[in-house]
Structure 1
Amino acid sequence: MAAVNVSLQVIPCVPENQIYPVVDKVIDLIAKSGVKYEVGPMETTMEGDIDTLLEIVKKAQEICISEGASRVLSVVKIDYKKEGVTMDEKISKYR
């Protein structure tokens, strides 16, 4: 299957001093998944098979809850086209 891009922003409902540690655990999940990814100041963008990336999104919600969040607000963006899409094609000219 062609690669897609999925951007994920998680906002765990935890005390302010716990937000970054919870988000760090989600980024660790993404890093350990083996998919290509890039962390930004507001979201993390991943590249890979859509089923794999959506499974990561699901697990990210579970991590936030297991880390004490009473609720998780998430923003998910998907860039999909039949022939595939890569992060490099979108940002390489800026690097």
Structure 2
Amino acid sequence: MSVVNVSLQVIPVVAEERIYPVVDKVIEYIQASGVKYEVGPMETTMEGELDKLLDIVKMAQEICVEQGAARVVSIVKIDYKAEGVTMNEKTYKYRK
């Protein structure tokens, strides 16, 4: 399967002061997964095989619940094309 991009925004339903610590746990998991990723102010974008990235999305929900979220709202975006798509091809001209 080709390389795809998946963007994930998790919104854990926890007390406001707990939002960032819970999201940090999800980002730590993404880091440990070994996939290429970039953290943005509203979402984290990952690059890799679709099945692996979707497994990460599923685990992100579980991590939020394990961290005390009563509910998790997630927004997922997938950019797929048969020949593959990379984050670099979309953003290289904007990098300093």
Q: Is TM more than 0.5 here?
A: yes
2:68 and 2:15 map into 1 onto residues whose CA distance is 10
1:79 and 1:28 map into 2 onto residues whose CA distance is 23
TM-score when normalising by structure 1: 0.99
1:6 and 1:36 map into 2 onto residues whose CA distance is 11
TM-score when normalising by structure 2: 0.98
| Corresponding residue for residue 68 of structure 2 | 68
1:31 Cα deviation from its structure 2 partner = 0.2
| Corresponding residue for residue 47 of structure 1 | 47
1:8 and 1:30 map into 2 onto residues whose CA distance is 10
1:29 and 1:51 map into 2 onto residues whose CA distance is 16
| 1:19-38 superposed matches below 5 A | 19-38=19-38
Query: Matched residues, percent identical?
Result: 74
CA RMSD of aligned residues (A): 0.3
**Which consecutive residues of structure 1, in runs of 5 or more, have no partner in the other structure?**
none
1:2 Cα deviation from its structure 2 partner = 1.0
| Corresponding residue for residue 92 of structure 1 | 92
The runs of at least 4 consecutive aligned structure 1 residues that moved more than 2 Å come to none
Give the paired residue count.
95
